[in-house]
Amino acid sequence: MASVKDIAICVRHWDWSETSQTVSILCREHGLVRAVVKGARREGAPFSGGLELATRGEAVMILKSGDAMATLTAWGLIEAYPAVRRSLGAFHAAMYMIDIAQRAVREHDPHPGLFDVLSAALERLATPGEIARSLVWLQWAALADTGVAPALDRDVVTGEVIDLAAATGSAVPGLAFDPARGGLVVGAERGDVWRVRAETVRFLRRVSEQWSPDEVSIWFSDPDVGDDVMARAGKLLASFWHVALGYWPASVRSVYAGIAHSNIGRWAEGGETTGR
């Protein structure tokens, strides 16, 4: 069978033998591919010393039909994202990013937009002040590029456009996020919605309009977006991913401490349940 080349990011790997690996790589044009890497760790093998998590390279592979694993015949390292190896915070963020990216897509279903964001977000981890922003960016991009982004402009029950100023005024019931319906509601008082602040929604609306790598610097560099807003937005998206997946990815605990143990369906007086 003919081999194909693609740019890919290693999102999972495990040892198959002393010299070989099994990997999952997110390819720009071929989507998520599971592959066997025979002799990956042998001296002189064409794999740049073996594949490591959160690295980008050129993959040469032989794709198989059906559920059969591909065979990776070469891997040329392009970017090692050194900050991920130097900083514990960057490492934890990178592990969560690649976790979400691989769980968001199906095998052999390409999402070049998500791939580009993952690659750029991993690069931005080199700047400590951009880690929280990178987490928000990747989580939203994974939702948007796979077609499951929540509705932030209207009430998902009534269909009415939400005026944030009105939704937070004293004469109007509170603003909330309904994870089951995938969007905002106004005035809901059931226990299965999450109270959310207008400033969190306002920021996420901005992200939803500017999540491509060409546009993201507009809000990335905005000093008016505080760390508290960034943290709440990240936790809201992580909680939504929990609902979408049906479980908490283990990596979430290292980037949003305590979130996996929160009762996310309970209303909290004066703020969102998990800090959203």
Q: How far apart are CA 59 and CA 184, in angstroms?
A: 41
| Amino acid letter, 94 | A
One domain for residues 60 and 151: no
Chain segment 126-171, per-residue pLDDT in tens: 998 899 999 999 999 999 999 999 999 999 999 999 988 765 544 3
One domain for residues 35 and 145: no
Looking at residue 254, its pLDDT comes to 95
CA-based angle 222:223:227, to the nearest 5?
Answer: 105
Chain segment 12-55, per-residue pLDDT in tens: 988 777 777 899 999 999 999 999 988 766 666 666 666 899 99
Q: How far apart are CA 25 and CA 13, in angstroms?
A: 9
Look over the chain and give the mean of its residue pLDDT values, rounded to a whole number. Answer: 86
One domain for residues 50 and 136: no
One domain for residues 37 and 115: no
pLDDT at 179 over 80: yes
CB-based contact 71:1 (threshold 8 Å)? no
- The token duo for 259 is 């979130």
Last residue of a domain, one of 19, 48, 80: 80
Looking at residue 214, its pLDDT comes to 87
The listed range with the strongest mean pLDDT (16-25, 95-104, 182-191) is 95-104
One domain for residues 123 and 58: no
Looking at residue 274, its pLDDT comes to 41
Looking at residue 235, its pLDDT comes to 95
Instruction: Report the percentage of the chain scoring pLDDT > 70.
Output: 85
Domain count, the chain: 2
Looking at residue 271, its pLDDT comes to 42
One domain for residues 45 and 72: yes
pLDDT at 272 over 50: no
Domain CATH number, residue 210: 1.20.1440.120
One domain for residues 107 and 232: yes
- pTM (two decimals): 0.88
Last residue of a domain, one of 50, 80, 110: 80
One domain for residues 106 and 231: yes
Last residue of a domain, one of 53, 80, 107: 80
Looking at residue 174, its pLDDT comes to 79
Structural domain containing residue 35: 1-80
One domain for residues 17 and 85: no
Q: How far apart are CA 222 and CA 218, in angstroms?
A: 7
Helix (DSSP H) and strand (DSSP E) numbers for the chain? 9, 9
Domain CATH number, residue 70: 2.40.50.140
Looking at residue 225, its pLDDT comes to 85
Q: How far apart are CA 11 and CA 157, in angstroms?
A: 37
**Strands across the sheet containing 175-178:** 151-155, 183-186, 175-178, 194-195
One domain for residues 72 and 99: no
One domain for residues 53 and 97: no
pLDDT at 266 over 60: no
Average pLDDT of the residues in 98-112: 96
